[in-house]
Amino acid sequence: MSVDLKAISKKNLARDLGLIALGSLVFAVGLNCFMEPNGLAPGGISGLAITLRAAVLAAGGPNLPVGMQTLVMNALLMIVAARVGGASYVLRSLAGIVLSSVLIDATAPVLPVLAADDLLLASLWGGVVCGVGLGIVFRAGSNTGGTDIVCQILARHTPIPVGTWVTITDLVVVAVSASVFSLENAMYATIAMFLMGRVIDMVIDGPSHERVAWIISREHEAIARAVMDDLDRGCTEVLARGKWTGETRPMLFVILDRGDVTPLKTIVAELDPEAIVVITEAHEAFGEGFRKIEGDTGL
């Protein structure tokens, strides 16, 4: 059976554009209901635009819509994006930048200002709502432009990783906002910025239900049998050698649901209390016994 890759690609692109529009709308709601009217500038181009708008208005200048500012600032960055990515990446990025900018200004006059008397509440909800919106946009393979592109360029020409550059630039924007709003507002904006990052990761990676267990034990055969029989989970044996003792022994690799962790601990404790067990989170697990793996699934 042949697969029409072009048809699938067009379908995925159309779906992704819809998700980009949805994510941009959610981001605009978070920005207009919680962030901008409460003087919270949580980094990035949008935070810089919020700060600049307030500073110009305070000086008696014209009203500079936040969305229009982000669109103008991102126009130059799109030239860079066109050089570092392919046509699909540029199209998705352009969609995210234009839609988020337009929706920010279009929804600003009709959305209510929420948590106006509580900066903590505004920063919490603003961070969550904006994070959900940006997470949807990012998961669709797009972005809303901003300083991330600049940070990627800086990381290529310096020993500092891109994540550090993003943090630095965001903190600089927040620090600048303190001179326009207040130090208190900047501190709450930092909370919103942190929440946005966490929520974005959750939306992109999804809730982590799976766990990975690594088990080193002399009773590896009995433990493996109990895992397969009692937990109904597969178990992979990997040969490992201790550098201190030079001894080679099997190490068990097991993927579990979150509810299997306690039963696994009970099994190991009963069979070998001296066993070494390391349990970590797995963002996603595909294959037999878990979800079916699919390409370019978006949400």
What domains can you pick out in the chain, each with its CATH number? 5-205 (no CATH), 210-282 (3.30.70.120)
| pLDDT on residue 66 | 93
| pLDDT on residue 130 | 93
CA 164 remoteness from chain centre: 15
pLDDT for 49-74, tens place per residue? 999 999 999 999 999 999 999 998 88
| pLDDT on residue 221 | 92
pLDDT for 86-120, tens place per residue? 566 677 778 888 999 999 999 999 999 998 889 99
Q: What is the mean pLDDT of residues 136-147?
A: 80
The type of residue at 252 is L
Q: CA–CA separation, 151 vs 44, rounded Å?
A: 11
| pLDDT on residue 230 | 85
Top mean-pLDDT range of 141-145, 147-151, 182-186, 259-263 = 182-186
Query: Any idea which of 63-67, 223-227, 241-245, 261-265 has the lowest mean pLDDT?
Result: 241-245
186, 177 Cβ separation under 8 angstroms: yes
The residue among 92 and 41 whose pLDDT is bigger is: 41
Checking if the pLDDT of 288 tops 60, the result is yes
Identify the CA nearest to 27 among candidates 4, 47, 1. Answer: 47
Q: What is the mean pLDDT of residues 124-152?
A: 84
Checking if the pLDDT of 80 tops 90, the result is no
Angle subtended at Cα 135 by Cα 132 and Cα 138, rounded to the nearest 5 degrees:
155
Instruction: Give φ, ψ of 152 to 5 degrees.
Output: -65, -40
Q: What is the mean pLDDT of residues 281-285?
A: 73
Q: What is the mean pLDDT of residues 78-86?
A: 62
Percent of the chain at pLDDT exceeding 90: 42
Identify the CA nearest to 205 among candidates 103, 299, 71. Answer: 299
Query: Any idea which of 4-8, 24-28, 140-144 has the lowest mean pLDDT?
Result: 4-8
At residue 138 the predicted structure's pLDDT band, cuts being 50, 70 and 90, is: confident
Q: CA–CA separation, 241 vs 248, rounded Å?
A: 4
At residue 81 the predicted structure's pLDDT band, cuts being 50, 70 and 90, is: low
Q: What is the mean pLDDT of residues 268-289?
A: 82
Checking if the pLDDT of 255 tops 70, the result is yes
DSSP H or E run through 12 = helix 5-30
Q: What is the mean pLDDT of residues 177-196?
A: 93
Checking if the pLDDT of 291 tops 70, the result is no
The residue among 156 and 203 whose pLDDT is bigger is: 203
pTM of this prediction?
0.73
Q: CA–CA separation, 119 vs 124, rounded Å?
A: 8
| pLDDT on residue 2 | 43
